[in-house]
Amino acid sequence: MGSESHQLHIFFFPFMAPGHMIPMIDMAKMFAMRGCKSTLIATPHDEPTFLRSIAKPKDLGFDINVVTVTLPLKDVGLPEDCGSLSKITTMEMRMTFVRAVMMLDRQIELLIEKLAPDCLISDIFLPWTTEIAAKFGIPRLVFHGTSAFSMAGIECVRLYQPHKKVSCDSEPFIIPNFPGEITLCKMQMQDLVREENELAKFFNAVKDSEKTSFGVVMNSFYELEPAYADHYRTFLGIRSWFVGPLSLCNKETEDKAHRGNEASIDQHECLKWLDSKQPNSVIYICFGSTTNFNAAQLHEIAVGLEASGQQFIWVVKKDPNAEEGKEEWLPDGHESRIRNKDLIIRGWAPQALILDHEATGGFVTHCGWNSILEAVAAGVPMVTWPVAAEQFYNEKLVTQVLKIGVDIGVKQGVISFGDSVKSERVEEAVKRVLVGEEAEEMRRRAKALAEMARGAVEEGGSSWSDLGALIQELKSHRLAHTKKI
Ligand code: UDP
């Protein structure tokens, strides 16, 4: 049982939202490709997405599987179709959803009892899993899914409370004891740190569980943010392994096309469209899996994009309340003017495929960490448009530290809906990131980072080595534990 050579079995338990599940699935694949047995925990709602994503590695003989647990949505008063965070629209529903997820504890215990994994890697929003893992004598590792920059920045704000010393919500403050003189204001902070409510208490439990866990697995690579990786590890004392960019485990077109939800456009049609464009001539606009702009904001984006004169791929969420064929946010005649020149994808885009195509020259992003890291891995400069959560931190990493993006000028975070931005700012930012000397300079820097990202995950690279070191440590832990009992 406990020998060093015995295959390591790891449970991967993501939170039920695309931005959390997609990188966790990639991580499970990466561990499987390094000889581990990977078991992903999904709800029946998400199981088809998981199975589609692991079909190819499974066919290739890697040891990767999915098991399911059922959310007690009815018991907490949520509708049956709310099986994913992307379906949750209010703060109140969010907390109720978190409560339903916490009620999975017994099901997780039964799975551990039955399948006897050696380790549990679970999402940051599942702090209660640390105790469960401890009960069974196995280590729990936390997966944040964000940058060391934002994790360390958030922790420094939480520890030193600089926002309590400013006179108004828009007054900037420097993040204390944090490299690089980075400024922020209260309006851009996460609600859960800013306010003292039930969510804030939950967040404190999340931070405590980070300290009592075995460590943290980061979807980032050391060369991208060395000062912040060191700060996180040394100054804040968090044991962490940098194993990303996880998306780079998807090498073939098919792998990239089948990440996450079923795409709303045929991958071949999408590639054919991109193939017909010049290198770096297309701007890609997508705001992740949970942001829902209103009709007025969509209208401003449409006008700004058209005025920029640049070709674009724009991902627009389907409005469930809109009448079929009627989209009041589109300016008159817009659709007929853009025909063939531009592409609007309604629903889910094959993002990794689009970013990796040479025609894609810029990315307007809400600064979700997966999106940023995917753009870094593809060498694509960004227009940053943060909406909420830790996205304002990520914005600062991109624009002020890495200097591979321009900010659109969002002043405050508004969960799910974002702050409003006028068409002129869209037009200006799109032009800045796509054409001219500044754009060239950012692209050069972005391409250099993309090279480093690839180097990091290749054999001998920093992420490859960190993953190997983690596997080795988990094996030693198992050996020590087996000897004890
Ligand atoms: N994504 C995608 N197609 C879409 C929207 C999102 O493939 O139309 C993927 C994207 O590539 C990324 C994830 O969904 O891997 C979104 O995660 P991110 O952290 O960027 O944002 P979130 O959705 O968590 O706000």
- 208-232 tens-digit pLDDT: 888 889 999 999 999 999 999 999 9
- What's the pLDDT at 339? 61
Q: In this structure, are 56 and 138 located in the same domain? A: yes
- pLDDT-above-70 percentage for the chain: 92
pLDDT in tens, 205-214: 787 888 889 9
39 lines ligand 1 (CB under 6 A): no
Q: In this structure, are 49 and 189 located in the same domain? A: yes
Is 253 within a domain? no
Q: Which ipTM value was assigned to this complex?
A: 0.99
Q: In this structure, are 218 and 304 located in the same domain? A: no
Domain count, the chain: 2
Tokens matching residue 411? 């002043």
Is 357 within a domain? yes
Is 123 within a domain? yes
The stretch 461-480 carries a mean pLDDT of 94
The stretch 361-369 carries a mean pLDDT of 97
143 pLDDT exceeds 80? yes
Among 20, 22, 387, 391, which residue has the most ligand 1 atoms within 8 Å of its CB, making it the best to mutate?
A: 22
Ligand 1 atom closest to Cα of residue 372: 20
Q: How many CB atoms lie within 10 A of CB 164?
A: 8
45 pLDDT exceeds 60? yes
Q: How many CB atoms lie within 10 A of CB 202?
A: 16
Q: In this structure, are 300 and 340 located in the same domain? A: yes
Distance 115 CA to ligand 1 centre (A): 31
The stretch 98-109 carries a mean pLDDT of 94
Residue range(s) defining the domain that contains residue 141: 3-248+456-484
Q: In this structure, are 206 and 310 located in the same domain? A: no
Q: In this structure, are 326 and 442 located in the same domain? A: yes
pLDDT in tens, 152-201: 999 899 889 999 999 988 899 999 999 999 999 988 886 655 556 677 77
Ligand 1 atom closest to Cα of residue 17: 24
Is 195 within a domain? yes
Q: In this structure, are 438 and 465 located in the same domain? A: no
Q: Which helix (H) or strand (E) holds 391?
A: helix 391-396
Q: In this structure, are 242 and 115 located in the same domain? A: yes
CA atoms of 150 and 193, how far apart (whole Å): 13
Residue nearest to atom 7 of ligand 1 (CA): 351
Tokens 């939202």 locate to: 17
Ligand 1 atom closest to Cα of residue 264: 8
349 lines ligand 1 (CB under 6 A): yes
Residue nearest to atom 2 of ligand 1 (CA): 351
Average pLDDT, the chain: 90
22 lines ligand 1 (CB under 6 A): yes
Contact 83, 16 (CB under 8 A): yes
Cα–Cα nearest to 394, from 199, 219, 208, 246: 219
Q: In this structure, are 136 and 279 located in the same domain? A: no
More confidently predicted of 183 and 327: 183
Q: In this structure, are 263 and 290 located in the same domain? A: yes
150 lines ligand 1 (CB under 6 A): no
Tell whether pTM > 0.90. Answer: yes
> What CATH number is attached to the domain comprising 157?
3.40.50.2000
Q: In this structure, are 130 and 275 located in the same domain? A: no
Ligand 1 atom closest to Cα of residue 389: 25
The residues carrying an active-site annotation are 20, 123
Is 196 within a domain? yes
Is 475 within a domain? yes
402: which DSSP letter?
A: S
Q: In this structure, are 166 and 26 located in the same domain? A: yes
